[in-house]
Structures are given as structure tokens and as C-alpha cells.
Amino acid sequence: MSLGVRWFGTGDGSAPVLVLLHGGTGRRPSTSAMADLRFLRMTPFALEVRRRSHRSITVAQIHNPAGGWPRGQGRAALDDFLSGLDLPRAQIVLAGHSSGGHVALAAGADCGGIIALAPWLSGSEPVEHLRGSRVTILHGDRDRVTDPARSAAYVRRLVAAGVSARFQQMAGAGHAMVQKPGQWHRAVADEAIAILLPHMANPNGPTDFPFERPLGP
């Protein structure tokens, strides 16, 4: 399988890279990225990251013609794409929505960070491979497609395993990220900058995460 890639920036190894992975169940394959709403939903994230980083972060927006990442379909092609980047893995952040969040967490070993947006999780995902990476999971409290409680539980397991991880509850948000979309976009941009360009990060932490939910014991 071949993945499509839309570059924002050169992709020549001169800048750190954020890799965007759309969601989808695989029930509606699409060979045209520009006709695929799942892919297009991720474009504002790319534009916000480029704007807030002053174009210092390159963005690779991935299109999977399978219509998502069902049963990991396309994972091998994603691994090949990541291996082909002329960058240390620490200068790569993966950000994915729904099934794209699931595959980002699965493929994120040794990456600088993983940002999972309303990820699909089974509840039995491994954690040890993410030691050394920074993991952030954002999930709307009104999501009826994927389970925010599973996301919070996964973060607890990551933290218990020694992974730098946090869970961010997005108040009033559903699965498609259409409620207060700017908050989602800014949150991803802030996290990508904090990981890849820490000298540009807000020293007081992200300012667009007003709904942080403590994980508790």
C-alpha cells in the first residue's frame, strides 16, 4: 500500500517534522485525499502548527487510501515513511485522530512525542515502547464514538510504566472535533512546539488547555 503525503514545508531534514494521521474505520476507502473529509479535517492542524511555529516545523499530512487504519492496515507503509525521514526520531512528532491516534501510539517508539486525538483504544495497548517519548491524549467528554475513559486509563498505565504522559479532557467536545475546533488546533500546535522547539514554548505551559483533568491515584 502507498500512502499519500501533503507537505507543508520542504521535508528535506532541515526542520523537525509533525506527522498528521487522519482517522477512519476503513469502511469508505478513498483514493483522492482532496475528496476525503477525514484527511481534510487535519489540514487546519497543519496550518496552525506552521503559523504558531513561524514555519519552523515541517508538517507531513498523511493520506491512507484505505479510509483509515483498520486492523493496522497501512502501518507498514507508515513505518517505511518514518524510516525514510532524514531526521532522528526525537525530532518527529506523530499526531493522529481516532484510528490515526491508535496507529500513532503504536508506531511512536523513540519519537519525540505522540499526540492522540480521541483515539480508538481496545484497552490492552502496550506501554513500554513509549518510554522516552512524550505522550498527550486529548479527548472530548461528549465523544460517543471512542471512549474518553479508556484514554484516561491508558495514560494512567503509561505513567505507571514511567512514560511522560498526560490526559487532556476537552469539555463539550464530541468525536469529530467540530466543537471549538480552534482549541483542538492550538492545543496540538502548542504541544508540537513544546516537544520540537522547546525554546519557543510558553514557559508557563500550554495556555489553550483550560480543561485539564487530573488523573488522580
Q: pLDDT of 136-154, one tens digit each?
A: 999 999 999 999 999 999 9
List the Cα angle 149/150/151 in 5-degree steps.
90
For residue 147, what are the domain limits?
4-200
Task: Identify whether 60 is part of a domain.
Answer: yes
Can you give the pTM of this predicted structure? 0.92
Task: Identify whether 205 is part of a domain.
Answer: no
List the Cα angle 84/199/205 in 5-degree steps.
105
* pLDDT of 203 higher than 80: no
Task: Identify whether 118 is part of a domain.
Answer: yes
Task: Identify whether 213 is part of a domain.
Answer: no
**What is the bridge-based pairing of β-strands 92-97 and 17-21?**
parallel
Task: Identify whether 216 is part of a domain.
Answer: no
Task: Identify whether 212 is part of a domain.
Answer: no
Task: Identify whether 211 is part of a domain.
Answer: no
Task: Identify whether 148 is part of a domain.
Answer: yes
Q: pLDDT of 65-87, one tens digit each?
A: 999 997 888 999 999 999 999 99
For position 210, what pLDDT does the model report?
33
Burial bucket for residue 123 (CB in 10 Å: 0-12, 13-18, 19+): exposed
Contacts of 97 (CB under 8 A, 6+ apart): 21, 22, 23, 38, 41, 42, 117, 118, 119, 177
Q: pLDDT of 27-77, one tens digit each?
A: 889 989 999 999 999 999 999 999 999 999 999 999 999 999 978 889 999
The number of distinct structural domains making up the chain is: 1
Average pLDDT of the chain to the nearest whole number: 92
CATH number at residue 125: 3.40.50.1820
Burial bucket for residue 53 (CB in 10 Å: 0-12, 13-18, 19+): buried
- The whole-angstrom separation of Cα 215 and Cα 217 is 7
Could you tell me the pLDDT band of residue 201, with boundaries at 50, 70 and 90?
Answer: confident
